[in-house]
């Protein structure tokens, strides 16, 4: 019998250091007015030198487990979505697994850039559905500011660091919380719209550009169109309409993209979760952070239908609709407090 996964707990963590738009005015030719008008961002968080994607993810996962009151030994799988890993290997997920004490779990990373969390959520849901796992931790975590060229005002103003985590468990027939179906798509023909190189890159642009390179106009157009279409497809596959959506949680890439998608779907803006003003684009972490904050703020209730939508480099994009269960989080989502334990 096929089972359905649900999110039963969530957690988030943001680094302490706040970088405002005024701070960026000291680095590049820009202004608070320009950044706010074009992106909706007022400030973002920057990881400390001793922090990394793994340590940020560890703290988000710990808060999630505390909320769920789950023994880490009962975790079967840890999936980390990230495009800013600590290194080429081992996986960030293995460092998170060890640090939270999930000694019996398997672990691996997913890199679909900003779409990594939703990709990981779809994979984790399938593990639950097939009975291969009973408890899956899905983390979106990024120290993505390490990939920025701080002299490029078109990209350095956009990003911030942070992590969010979700616990997946099977949903009983009488319980709220079903996730899916998922609509996931990729188009490698548009790979050069946004990319970053690295130490193993071949000769050419990727070798030369170890930081994020972006065609902002092309990405804007693609994001609005693909997010709109995938949202409609996910709603149709779920047998729902826009009127059934209680909360829209889009990838927090740019407030103008988010509002354009909501408007094109006919979704009232007061039903859209917005965190980009405070945290910027935390890449794969934006959606799980937003879910944790929405719950902590009392914007999510058992039975609410939540539309998730994302797009990232690849280009890779997707959407799903989930029915919210009633996990007991709350105070554990205070993203201001917590001492990170460094990855070993």
Q: Are 254 and 39 in contact (CB under 8 A)?
A: yes
pLDDT at residue 327, rounded to an integer? 57
Homologous superfamily of domain range 4-171 = Thiolase/Chalcone synthase (3.40.47.10)
CA atoms within 13 A on the CB side of 180: 20
Which segments of the chain have a pLDDT < 50? 328-344
For domain 179-323, give the fold.
Peroxisomal Thiolase; Chain A, domain 1 (3.40.47)
pLDDT at residue 150, rounded to an integer? 97
Cα 13 to chain centroid distance, Å, stands at 12
User: Which regions of the chain does DSSP assign to beta strands (E)?
Assistant: 4-13, 17-20, 43-46, 77-81, 106-110, 136-142, 162-171, 179-186, 194-196, 212-214, 247-250, 305-312, 316-323
CA-to-CA separations, 336 to 13, 15, 18, 235, in angstroms, rounded: 8, 8, 11, 35
Residue at token pair 């080429």 = 88
pLDDT at residue 209, rounded to an integer? 85
pLDDT at residue 33, rounded to an integer? 98
pLDDT at residue 204, rounded to an integer? 85
pLDDT at residue 1, rounded to an integer? 57
pTM for this predicted structure: 0.94
Catalytic residue numbers, as ranges? 114, 251, 281
Domain extents in the chain: 4-171, 179-323
Give the pLDDT confidence of 31-79 residue by residue, as tens digits: 999 999 999 999 999 999 999 999 999 999 999 999 999 999 999 999 9
pLDDT at residue 332, rounded to an integer? 36
Whether omega before 193 lies within 30 degrees of 0, making that bond cis, reads no
pLDDT at residue 111, rounded to an integer? 98
Q: Are strands 77-81 and 106-110 parallel, antiparallel or unpaired?
A: parallel
Cα 191 to chain centroid distance, Å, stands at 20
């Amino acid at each position: 019998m096929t089972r359905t996964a649900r999110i039963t707990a969530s957690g988030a963590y943001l680094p302490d250091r706040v970088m405002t738009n005024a701070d960026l005015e000291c680095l590049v030719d820009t202004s608070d007015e320009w950044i706010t008008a074009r992106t909706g961002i007022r400030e973002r968080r920057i990881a400390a030198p001793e922090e990394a994607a793994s340590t940020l993810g560890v703290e988000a996962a710990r808060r999630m487990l505390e909320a769920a009151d789950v023994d880490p030994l009962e975790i079967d799988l840890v999936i980390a979505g990230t495009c800013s890993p600590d290194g080429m290997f081992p996986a960030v997920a293995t460092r998170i697994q060890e640090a939270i004490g999930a000694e019996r779990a398997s672990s691996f990373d997913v890199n679909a850039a900003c779409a990594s969390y939703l990709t990981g959520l779809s994979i984790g849901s399938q593990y639950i559905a097939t009975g291969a796992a009973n408890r899956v931790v899905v983390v979106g975590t990024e120290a993505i500011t390490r990939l920025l060229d701080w002299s490029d005002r078109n990209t350095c103003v956009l990003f911030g660091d942070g992590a969010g985590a979700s616990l997946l468990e099977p949903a009983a027939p009488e319980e709220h919380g079903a996730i899916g179906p998922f609509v996931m798509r990729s188009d490698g023909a548009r790979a050069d719209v946004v990319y970053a190189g690295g130490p193993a890159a071949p000769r050419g642009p990727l070798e030369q550009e170890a930081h994020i390179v972006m065609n902002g106009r092309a990405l804007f157009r693609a994001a609005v169109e693909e997010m709109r279409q995938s949202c409609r497809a996910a709603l149709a596959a779920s047998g729902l309409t826009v009127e059934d959506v209680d909360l829209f949680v889009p990838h927090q890439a740019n407030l103008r993209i988010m509002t354009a998608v909501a408007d094109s779907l006919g979704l009232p803006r007061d039903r859209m979760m917005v965190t980009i003003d405070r945290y910027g684009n935390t890449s794969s972490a934006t959606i799980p952070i937003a879910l944790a904050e929405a719950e902590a703020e009392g914007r999510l209730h058992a039975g609410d239908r939540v539309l998730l939508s994302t797009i990232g480099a690849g280009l890779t994009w997707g959407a799903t609709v989930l029915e919210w269960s009633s996990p007991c989080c709350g105070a554990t989502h205070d993203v201001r407090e917590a001492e990170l334990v460094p990855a070993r």
